[in-house]
Amino acid sequence: MAQAVFNHVGVTCKDPLRIERFYTKYFGFTRARVYAPGPDQVVVIKSGPLAFELFKATESNPNKDPVLSGYEFPGWRHVCFTVDDLDAKLAELGDEIRITQGPVDMGGFIPGMRVVWAADPEGNIIELNQGYVDEENPPPLATET
């Protein structure tokens, strides 16, 4: 099987520069590439292995803004960032986000885990997660029969 490696998530934005500034300021993203500089430019921003390719919207969103942890219909629900101190990150973000759910104590799943879901400046849901760790021995994916 040919190997596939995560590269980016494409995000359509009302104001790509505002979204770029938000993720640069609060989540350490930097520009990785600019296609066709100018008013219709497409910008790739990156933080570690996570990259967003930002496109200018040419249509209005026909859906209501997502609530809680994201849309309930099939599709991407939210993007998650792990943080070392959830309360400090929320204080830093201040009025730049709108909390849609939480803080929620998820210690019943993972000791010490706390989570908040919030809308970025354009309403995209982001999860801020303190304390997540991968499961040591997760059950394997069942094979098809």
| Statement to judge: residues 12 and 40 lie in one domain | yes
Q: Does residue 104 contact residue 114 with C-beta atoms inside 8 Å?
A: yes
**For position 71, what pLDDT does the model report?**
74
What CATH number is given to the structural domain containing 18? 3.10.180.10
The token pair at 82 is: 């792990």
- pLDDT tens, residue by residue, 97-134: 999 999 999 999 999 999 999 999 999 999 999 999 99
pLDDT for position 43: 92
Opening angle at CA 127, ends 125 and 130, nearest 5: 170
- From 57, 80, 96, give the residue that closes a domain: 57
What pLDDT score was predicted for residue 69? 84
For residue 1, pLDDT beyond 80: no
CA dist 110 and 116 (Å) reads 15
pLDDT above 80 (res 30): yes
Q: Is it the case that residue 28 has pLDDT exceeding 80?
A: yes
pLDDT bracket for residue 3 (50, 70, 90)? confident
In a domain, 143, yes or no: no
Residues 23 and 52 in one domain: yes
Whole-model pTM: value is: 0.85
116 shares a domain with 89: yes
pLDDT value for 97 = 94
Alpha helices in the chain (DSSP H): 16-27, 86-93
Question: Domain for residue 1, yes or no?
Answer: no
Whether residue 115 is contained in a domain is answered as yes
Mean model confidence pLDDT for the chain? 89
Closest of 131, 14, 115 to residue 61, by C-alpha: 14
Split into its structural domains, the chain has a count of: 2
CB under 8 Å to 29, separation ≥6 — which residues?
A: 20, 23, 45, 46, 47, 52
Q: How many Å is the maximal CA-CA distance in the chain?
A: 52
